[in-house]
């Protein structure tokens, strides 16, 4: 065996040993020598495994031989074995006790195994029994459900087909009230049950019950019919509030449902009775039995009579506003106003062309209808549009109530048309007669706006029943308005100038009529923007302008013609503004022509007092100094300067008086005077500039009027005017 020196191990060199040498040095017994090659190979493998073992390497590093080391290990093992035997001998009694305890445990576990095995057998038997019981329970549950279902159907059948004595008493002898309504519903269900289920018809119970149910049905129908007809009969009483009565009847509406479902012929008779009660006389032909006797009791035209009476009461309140002669271009004397004042108030005559307080009818659109006898007691009279609004308000409110009642009580919206045909016919006949003789254009336009507002009200209510009627009324009003408007237009175009002309420059009464009439229509068109009406107003404007020009030409002097036009144009603008409306194109046009005529008047009045000055300035001077300095001399300007200095204040005073007497509107006259004096100042300024440029013009400085003096006079007249 080759021993690796310790020094070599400390030097870090790898320790190696020759396995062949190591094996060769081992002593071998005879038995070991006889071992087969397999043992040697096993030993060789173990040596290979120990080759890299750290423990072996440490042993070899210390210089200890393996044989010695092995003997030391064997001695240690023997010592441990001896110690173990000694410990076993010491603990022998405990081991015996442990053995006995283990034996007892084994016996107990054996007994428990036997018991558990028995339990297992019994549990298996119980499981089988539970399964059988479960199957029986499911079978019993199914039978129970079947019996319950059968019992439920049988119970419902008995409940549906049986006729309780209490129900018979209520149907036969009871009053029509809430309890009666509930009983009717029960009876209706029984009738439907008998008629709907084919299995019921084959039951023996039906043979006993059906005759009784039929008798109850007939009795209920008879009582319902009499009750409802009596309610309709109540409508004929004087001063009956139809809407309140209808509301009281609504709680019995199931009676109508019952008749619809179980007595259609009687329902048709009730329906006809209501229509005839509310609309037209009853035709008793074809009625049968005692029903016709009851229907005769309600032989009355309720709604039609109601509206006819209301219309007759309204006629007493009507205030006539306009006749066929109340036109814009008609002479005042030919209308007979002087003789009609005693018949109609002057205030009513002023409303022929002016809107005034008549606009309030649109503000009161939602107010209740007039109560004629109250107004008559107060001796109040109203323009027709007020009566029209009241009548139409009553009509739409009544129609709304009737439409809702027909839908709610009878369940038929179409019933309304049959019921309301009479009232609409009554209102139509009256309205057509009134409209045929209506020459009040403003009133007609107000009625057009009233109908529009009523259409909006019905739209908000979501009640379409009067759509066609309101459209029809609207379509009737527009042609009539166009016809009356064309009469006004023709009266201006065909006016007799000689009879209309008055030797007065102040605004003509035809102009005031036109201005008020136009302002009224413009005001009524602000929120609607009707293009056709705007076009008609444009035609009317052209006609009045032509008439005014013709009237102006009747004055001999051009200045008077201009003054007349200015006064009339100014009045028209003022009325349009006072109406509180947007005059629109009409007002803008008159403002332009007014401005143009004021400029003409200013030139005319200045020429009247300073003609030489104006002619000189316009012909001999120019705004360009270079072009005008050689066109005038001292001889040309000296007379003009001295003449102006001598009489300019007197001329301004005359102009002042002329303006005061010529123009009815002082504010307009003040503006005209300012414009005239301002233009005079401009002319005189140009003259003074010319004087400064001519040779020797400085000699005239003492005669020139200072500009500040002229401005002072202008301000003075502005303050005192």
pLDDT, tens digit (0-9, with 9 covering 90-100), for 255-281 = 888 888 787 888 778 777 777 777 654
> pLDDT tier at 336 (50, 70, 90 boundaries)?
very low
> Percent of the chain scored above 90 by pLDDT?
27
For 84-113, write each residue's pLDDT tens digit. 888 888 888 888 888 888 988 988 998 888
Q: Say whether pLDDT at 348 is over 80.
A: no
In a 13 Å sphere around the CA of 704, the CA atoms on its Cβ side amount to 19
* Cα distance between residue 587 and residue 590, in whole Å: 5
For 487-503, write each residue's pLDDT tens digit. 999 999 999 999 998 88
For the record, the structure tokens of 466 come out as: 């009067």
Smallest Cα–Cα separation from 273: which of 250, 294, 304?
A: 294
Q: Say whether pLDDT at 587 is over 80.
A: yes
Q: Tell me which DSSP letter residue 122 carries.
A: H
Cα→Cα distances 231→175, 226, 643, Å: 14, 9, 102
The answer to whether 666 touches 604, Cβ cutoff 8 Å, is no
Average pLDDT over residues 500-519: 91
Q: Compute the chain's Rg from CA coordinates.
A: 63
For the record, the structure tokens of 459 come out as: 């739209």
**Three-state secondary structure call for residue 703:** coil
Q: Which of 33-37, 151-155, 638-642 has the lowest mean pLDDT?
A: 33-37
For the record, the structure tokens of 85 come out as: 């035997």
Smallest Cα–Cα separation from 579: which of 442, 415, 429?
A: 442
For 111-165, write each residue's pLDDT tens digit. 888 888 888 888 888 888 898 888 888 888 888 888 888 777 666 666 666 777 8
* Cα distance between residue 509 and residue 350, in whole Å: 12
The answer to whether 453 touches 362, Cβ cutoff 8 Å, is yes
For the record, the structure tokens of 60 come out as: 């070899």
User: By CB neighbour count within 10 A (0-12 exposed, 13-18 middle, 19+ buried), where does 631 fall?
Assistant: middle
- Between helix 415-436 and helix 384-405 the angle, nearest 10°, is 170
Q: Tell me which DSSP letter residue 333 carries.
A: G
The answer to whether 276 touches 235, Cβ cutoff 8 Å, is no
Smallest Cα–Cα separation from 221: which of 191, 197, 178, 179?
A: 191
* Cα distance between residue 208 and residue 193, in whole Å: 15
What's residue 538's pLDDT?
92
> pLDDT tier at 197 (50, 70, 90 boundaries)?
low
For the record, the structure tokens of 169 come out as: 């008493």
> pLDDT tier at 394 (50, 70, 90 boundaries)?
very high
Q: Nearest-5° angle of CA 158, CA 160, CA 163?
A: 85
Domain segments of the chain as ranges: 58-149, 165-279, 298-330+349-494, 595-624+631-718
- pTM: predicted TM-score of the whole model, two decimal places: 0.68
* Cα distance between residue 490 and residue 501, in whole Å: 18
Q: What is the 3-state secondary structure (H, E, C) of 346-395?
A: HHHHHCCCCCHHHHHHHHCCCCCCCCHHHHHHCCCCECHHHHHHHHHHHH
């Amino acid at each position: 065996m080759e021993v690796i020196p310790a020094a070599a191990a400390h030097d870090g060199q790898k320790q190696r040993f020759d396995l062949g040498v190591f094996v060769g040095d081992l002593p071998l017994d005879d038995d070991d020598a006889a071992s087969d090659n397999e043992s040697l190979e096993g030993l060789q493998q173990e040596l290979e495994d120990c080759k890299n073992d750290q423990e072996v390497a440490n042993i070899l590093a210390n210089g200890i031989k393996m044989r010695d080391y092995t003997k030391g290990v064997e001695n240690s093992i023997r010592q441990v074995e001896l110690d173990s035997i000694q410990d076993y001998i010491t603990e022998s009694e405990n081991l015996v006790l442990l053995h006995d305890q283990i034996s007892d445990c084994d016996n107990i576990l054996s007994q428990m195994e036997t018991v558990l095995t028995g339990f297992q057998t019994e549990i298996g038997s119980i499981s089988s029994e539970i399964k059988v019981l479960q199957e029986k329970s499911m079978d019993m549950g199914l039978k129970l459900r079947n019996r319950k279902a059968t019992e439920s159907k049988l119970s419902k059948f008995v409940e549906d087909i049986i006729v309780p004595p209490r129900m018979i008493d209520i149907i036969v002898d009871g009053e029509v009230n809430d309890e009666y309504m509930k009983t009717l519903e029960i009876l209706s269900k029984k009738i439907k049950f008998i008629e709907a289920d084919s299995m019921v018809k084959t039951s023996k119970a039906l043979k006993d019950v059906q005759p009784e149910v039929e008798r109850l049905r007939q009795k209920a129908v008879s009582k319902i019919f009499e009750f409802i007809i009596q309610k309709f009969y109540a409508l004929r009483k004087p001063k009956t509030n139809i809407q309140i009565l209808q509301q009281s009847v609504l709680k019995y509406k199931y009676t109508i449902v019952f008749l619809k479902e179980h007595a259609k012929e009687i329902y048709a008779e009730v329906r006809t009775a209501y229509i005839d009660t509310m609309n037209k006389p009853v035709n008793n032909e074809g009625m049968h039995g005692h029903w016709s006797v009851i229907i005769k009791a309600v032989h009355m035209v309720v709604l039609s009579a109601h509206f006819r009476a209301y219309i007759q009461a309204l006629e007493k309140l009507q205030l006539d506003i306009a006749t066929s002669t109340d036109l814009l271009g008609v002479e005042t004397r030919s209308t007979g106003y002087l003789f009609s004042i005693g018949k109609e108030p002057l205030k009513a005559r002023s409303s022929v062309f002016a809107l005034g307080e008549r606009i309030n009818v649109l503000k009161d659109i939602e107010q209740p209808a007039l109560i004629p006898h109250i107004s008559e007691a107060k001796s109040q009279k109203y323009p027709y549009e007020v009566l029209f609004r009241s009548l139409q308000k009553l009509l739409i409110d009544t129609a709304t109530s009737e439409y809702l009642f027909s839908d709610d009580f009878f369940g038929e919206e179409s019933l309304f048309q049959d019921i309301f045909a009479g009232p609409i016919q009554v209102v139509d006949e009256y309205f057509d007669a009134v409209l045929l003789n209506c020459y009040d254009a403003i009133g007609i336009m107000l009625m057009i706006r009233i109908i529009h507002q009523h259409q909006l009200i019905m739209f908000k209510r979501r009640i379409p029943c009067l759509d066609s009627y309101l459209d029809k009324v609207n379509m009737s009003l527009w042609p009539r308005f166009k016809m009356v408007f064309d009469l006004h237009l023709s009266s201006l175009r065909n006016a007799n100038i000689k009879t209309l002309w008055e030797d007065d420059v102040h605004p003509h009464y035809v102009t005031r009529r036109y201005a008020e009439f136009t302002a009224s229509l413009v005001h009524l068109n602000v929120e609607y923007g009707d293009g056709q009406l705007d076009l008609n107003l444009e035609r009317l404007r052209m006609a009045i302008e032509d008439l005014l020009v013709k009237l102006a030409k009747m004055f001999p002097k051009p200045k008077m013609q201009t003054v007349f036009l200015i006064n009339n144009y100014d009045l028209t603008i003022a009325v349009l503004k006072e109406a509180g409306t947007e005059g629109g194109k009409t007002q803008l046009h008159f403002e332009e022509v007014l401005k143009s005529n004021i400029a003409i008047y200013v030139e005319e009045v200045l020429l009247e007092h300073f003609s030489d000055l104006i002619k000189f300035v316009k012909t001999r001077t120019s705004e360009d100094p270079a072009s005008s300095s050689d066109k005038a001399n001292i001889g040309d300007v000296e007379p003009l300067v001295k003449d102006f200095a001598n009489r300019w204040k007197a001329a301004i005073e005359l102009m002042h008086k002329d303006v005061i007497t010529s123009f009815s509107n002082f504010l307009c006259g003040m503006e005209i005077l300012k414009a005239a004096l301002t233009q005079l100042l401009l002319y005189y300024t140009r003259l003074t500039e010319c004087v400064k440029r001519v040779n020797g013009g400085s000699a005239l400085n003492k005669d020139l009027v200072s500009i500040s003096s002229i401005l002072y006079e202008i301000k003075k007249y502005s303050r005192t005017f």
